[in-house]
A and B are shown apart, each in its own frame.
Chain A
Amino acid sequence: MEAVPRRLDPAVEVDELRKEFRRSDGKRRRGERRMRVALDSVSFTMEKGETVAILGQNGSGKSTLVRLLSTLLLPDGGTARILGHDVVTDGRAVRHLVNRVSVEASFFKRMSAAENLGYAARYYGMTSKETRDKIPAILERVGFPSDRRDEPMQNLSRGMQQKVALARALLTSPVVLLLDEPTTGLDPRSKLEVQEFVREIRTTHDSTILLCTHDLAEAETLAERIGILDRGRLLALEPVEDLKRRYGAKTLEEAFFAATGREFEAEGDEDDDREVFA
C-alpha cells in the first residue's frame, strides 16, 4: 500500500474574517453612531515557517488583523485559526502560540529592560530560574548592550526599545510571530538592525511570521509572499514577482497602485478617518 503524504496543517488560517467598529460621532445626533468596516471578509492561509508581509496604508486594517489573531479583538464574522486553534473559542491555546511586536514598544518606562522581560516571561509560565540566563542571552542576540540591561526603558532610544520588544516576543518562543510595523519611526540604522534580526529569526527559528508594514522595501526583502490590504479588503497575496506580473508592474509600488488605484503614500481624509477605527 502506497503511503499517502501527510499534509501539514497551516500555521495560520483566516477565513472570511470581518471586523467593524462603531463609534459615536460628535457631528451626529446624540446616540447616533458611525460604522466602519475595518476588515472585510479577509481570507488567507500561511504555512508553517512562512513569512508573509501585508502591505497597506494607515487605516487599511493591518493592526486590526494582528489584534484579531492575537485574541485582542473579537471578530464580527468569519474565523481565524492558529495551528488549528480558533482565536475565539480556543483563545488560551492561541495565546500560548502567538506573540507580537507592535509599532509602539509598550513597556513600563521606569522599569528596566531586564525587569520588563522578567515579569512578562512569568505570564507565560517561565520561572525566574528559567529566565536568569535566557534574558541576558536573548538581549545579547538582538544587539542590546549588556551594560544597559538595568537602565530604565525611558532612557533608551526608540531603536533600543524596539530591540527589547523583539526580545520580549522571542523569549516565549512563539510559533507565530506578528510584527505590526516593527520598524516604523526608527532611524535608518536601527531599522536595518531590526530587519536583519527578523531575517535571522527566519533562518534560525521555525516561526511563522506575519509582517504588517507600509514599507515596500521591507516587505519585498523579508517576505516570501506579499498581500495588499486596502480599506479592509485583501486584494492579493502572492510572491512579489507574481504580484508584479499580475498587475503588469515593474515595481511593487506600481503593483500597489494598480491594485488599489492610488499612490502608496497618498492618503485621503477617509484614510485618516479609517485609521481611528482600524
Chain B
Amino acid sequence: MKALGTTLRAELVGAGGVVERNFYLTKRYIWWDLAWFFWTVANTLTIVFIAQGIEATGGDIDVNTVATSLLIGAVVWAYLGVLFEFLMETVAWERWEGTIEYTFMAPLSRAMHLAGQGVFAISYGLLRAVFLFTACFLFFDLSTPDANFLAAFIVLAIASISFIGIGVMTSVLPLISPEKGTQLGFVAQGTLLVVSGVYYPVEVLPTWMQWIAKFSPATYALEGAREAILDGAPLSAMWDEIWPLLIIGAVSIPLGLWVFSRGELYAKKHGKLKRSG
C-alpha cells in the first residue's frame, strides 16, 4: 500500500513536471504567443463580420444572435486548435529540440505524461478562449442579457476530456511519420470542424454527415455553449449535451492511450524516436 502511495505520488509529481515545463516554455515564448493570439483575434473578427455582411447585402437576420453564434463557433474552434497543438507537440516539439528520448526514458508513465500535457493545454486553452471571447464580444458590442457564461465554460471543460482523448490519438502521428505526422493531425481537427456545426447548424449537413456529427464531442460542446450563452440555459437543462460528452470522453481517453502506446511500441521497434526526418 505504501509502495502504491509512493508510486502515485511520483506519478503526480511527474505530471506536474510536464505542466511546469509547458509553463516555462510559454513564459519563454510569450511574445510569440501574444502575436499568435493577435492573429486568432483577427481571424475570429473576420468570421464574426460575416453576420454584418449578410445584413449589409440584404439578408434578413438577427445580427446580434448570428454574430454571437459565429463567435462561439470561432472561439470553440480556436480552443480546439490550442488543445490539439499542445498534444501534437508532445512528440513533434520534443523531437525538434532533441529531448524526446530523455522524456521517453524517464520512469513517468505515458498516461501521466499525457495527462500533464492535457491539463496544461486545457488550462491555457480555456484562459485564451475567455480572452478571445471577451475581446471580440466587446469589439462588436454584442448583447446577451440572459447568458449563462459559467454553464458554457463548464460544458467546454467537460468536452475537453473528449478533445484530449482524440488529441492523444492524433499526437502519435509524428511518432509514426516524423515528416508528415503533424500535418495529418490537422485532418482530425478539420473533420471535427466540418461535421460539428462550428459556423452553421448540424441540420444543414447531408444525413450521413449528421450521423458522423453524433460522434463528435465538438457538436455537443457547441450546442451546449450556444444554449448557455444565447438562451441562458442552466447546466441542469443541458443533460442532452453532457451525457454524450461523458460517454465520448470515457471511450476516447483509454482509446487514445491505447493508440499512443501502440505508436510508441512501433517507434521503439523501428527506431523512429531518434530522428527528425
Which residues of A are interface residues toward B (Cβ below 8 A)? Answer: 21-22, 64, 67, 70-74, 92, 95-96, 98-100, 102, 104-111, 115, 118-127, 152, 168, 277
Contact = CB atoms under 8 A, between A and B. Distances in A.
Given A73-B271, A152-B28, A118 B99 contact: no
Contacts of B268: 71-74
B125 interface: no
A124 B101 contact: no
Contact of B25 (A104, A110, A120): A110
Contact of A106 (B10, B11, B99, B269): B99
Interface core residue of B113, B268, B273 (most chain A CB under 10 Å): B268
B270 A70 contact: no
6 contacts: A67-B274, A74-B269, A100-B102, A107-B97, A111-B25, A125-B9
A121 B107 CA distance: 11
A111 B9 contact: no
B39 interface: no
B271 A122 contact: no
Contacts, number: 102
B261 to A, nearest CB: 12
Nearest to A119: B21
A122 B14 contact: yes
B108 interface: yes
Interface string B1-35: 00000000111011011101100110011000000
Interface in B234-274: 265, 268-271, 273-274
Nearest to A38: B271
B108 A123 contact: yes
B24 A21 contact: no
Contacts of A105: 98
A98 B105 contact: yes
Given A72-B105, A95-B106, A125-B107, A106 B25 contact: no
A95 B101 CA distance: 12
Interface of B: 9-11, 13-14, 16-18, 20-21, 24-25, 28-29, 97-99, 101-109, 113, 265, 268-271, 273-274
A125 B13 contact: yes
Contact of B106 (A73, A120, A152): A120
B196 to A, nearest CB: 34
Contact of A74 (B25, B98, B109, B265): B265
Contacts of A96: 107
B14 A125 contact: yes
A115 B97 CA distance: 15
A118 B104 CA distance: 17
A243 B203 CA distance: 79
A122 B28 contact: no
A125 B108 CA distance: 8
Nearest to A21: B271
Contacts of B269: 73-74
A71 B268 CA distance: 8
Instruction: Kindly name the residue among A67, A73, A120, A122 whose own CB sees the greatest number of chain B CB atoms within 10 A.
Output: A122
A123 B11 CA distance: 8
A95 B109 CA distance: 11
Given A95-B105, A96-B107, A125-B9, 14 more contacts: A21-B270, A71-B104, A72-B104, A92-B109, A100-B105, A105-B98, A107-B97, A111-B25, A111-B28, A119-B18, A120-B17, A122-B17, A123-B106, A124-B10
Contacts of A126: 13
Nearest to A127: B13
B24 A111 contact: yes
B20 A119 contact: yes
